[in-house]
Structure 1
Amino acid sequence: MDAQQPSAPPCAPPPNPRGITHMRSRPTSHYTVVGNHLAQHGQLSLVAIGLAVHIQSVKSGTVVTIKTLADRFPEGETRIASALRELEHHGYLSRTRERLPNGRVITQAVSYDVPRHAAKALPDPRTAPRPRRSPTVPESGASVPKPPSPPEPPPAPVRPRAPEPNQPPAPPKPPRAPLPEPEVHDLKAHRRATTLLASLHGDDPRLLLAERDVRRLAPAVAAWFERGAAPESVRNILTANLPTEPLHHPAAFLTHRLTALLPAPTPQSPPPSVASSPAAARPHRAFQTSCEGCDRAFRTPQPGGRCRDCRTDLQGAA
């Protein structure tokens, strides 16, 4: 019973009982090259790895958003959004928001086949210096003669520059019109002008002025008040029909309107002393029905008397 049985066949080990067997083939079309740094990433989830492979396989210009990916795959928007954030964190994806000229906001996505920090460290093949090839040395040890360098081309002849025609100098720009100033300094009007300028940003946020601009423009607004413009009228003129593009210099814009749209001065009324003087008033002349000399009707400042033709004092003077 203790003798060994050499005729019993040994047990064969099972072929690769736990590992996977690859049946590889080399694709010739419709394939995407993915690095093992992504396929075997130790910190990315399986959803993020599969999503990165899908994004790298689509053509440039394909719309890749959370909604389009949720319509394409069974995963919901929450898992897809989480996977996209993972890819952004590890440098495989970047998303930036851009505003179009029509005001619409879009998201621009860029996919990286290697992480962004690794892509910056790699040399640019367009600017990297090419390695120099060593001259071929024959087996006998004789050096290969260097080919002669091509002769340098002769320098191009310098053509004389044609004289420029006499052009008239550009006319100087007209000086800017100065800001209007009030003729009489009124502290109360100056305060109202300062309050109006400091509150213009309530009508439009782009009209927010600095303190020095409010002090510089306040006398001009006071000049408008002096010419009979009401505060609400000045506010409406300064804030009406504003341009749609951004106002980079609101103080310059208000300076132009305060100067170009300045109302005309109101006509001054005569002094009260001149208007109420007796000489300026037309004398009252009573109407007489008959002259004492010729029975003709006439006007006279006093009742009774004679007309002009019958007055002896006028005839004697003539």
Structure 2
Amino acid sequence: MDTQQNTALTRALAEVPGPLPTSGVIHIAIPHTDRFTVVGNHLAQHPDLSCTAVGIAVRIQSLPQGIEIGIKALAARCREGEKRIAAALRELEAFGYLQRVRDRLPSGRVITRTVFCNQPTALLRPRRPAAPQHPAAPAPRPAPAEAPARVPTSAPARAQAPTSAPAQAPAQVPTPGPTPAPAPAPAQVPTSTPAPAPTSPPEPDTPAPPHVPPPPFLAAHPTPLFVPLVPPPTAPKPPPAPLPRPDELTPELDRAATALLSDLRRRTPQLTLSETDVRQLVPGVAAWLERAAHPDAVRRTLTTDLPHPLRHPAKLLKHRLTALLPPPLPGSQDLAVPARPRITVTPFQTCDDCDRAFRSPAPGHCRDCREHRAHRSEATRTAA
């Protein structure tokens, strides 16, 4: 039998206006009546967004408000994995389509709201106030029935008025030669020319909304709409931390670190290291042992919770030796409780003359008695 033809597609192609292109896509645009989402070309044809990010943005835009759009929630709805969805969300956040905002509820609990804007560049434009609404002008009264021929003041007649003015302009340019005699005025026809129809009163002009200039800081220094919380995948990554090294790599530390690394494959076959990898990781293990870390604790740290499959065991061990390095053990002086400072209290003394109590390191007279005795000695010296 012959190949079956899709009659519906053939009929739809016949309804496409214009000649069909010989190559490229052919659009059959059928208007939507329900269940559709309007997506701008600034998103659908974004030059810097990946197709995964555009698809995730369209999926988020089609969801109703209040739907969870986290990485795990989107992974349950889409076929992409969590890593691709996380990268797509970072791209949308970098270009302002997605933003995470922290908000505090009246109860005091802090939550994170996820905001999606379908056109982030429109938020940078200044908002103009709505134009005031004026009452509609009254409709013009209909012309009387006995004069139907006096109504032909329509738009075509008004449109032809400006075109006659340029035609008369060349006739008014003066030319050299004898001056022509003035033409007689045309005779007035009393009833043949139809009178103009009564026009309606002019409508009040609607005032244009005031122009609000953009803020100067937006015009001078255009800044992105949102500041992403997570850097984009193309951002430069910081260099990795170097492998820790001991203060002094003694032969004992070198031998113990080499034995510990070489013995890992007995208990964990995935950690089978080459001799070159062992020599490169020896300083890191020696730094742990120098800080009084027990060999069993080092072995447990390096072999617990390994990923599956383990592709680069040497890189994993280097990362754990660097990131999980314990601090040096504190000394006995660091653990000692600091002594409280001694506060010297001046004792109370009793004045020998007036029996008044005063503070002084040694017994004697109070301040008033000392001043009285000083004045009396001065008076005696002056009298003498």
Q: Higher RCO, 1 or 2 (CA under 8 Å, sep at least 6)?
A: 2
Q: TM-score, normalised by structure 1?
A: 0.36
Structure showing greater Rg: 1
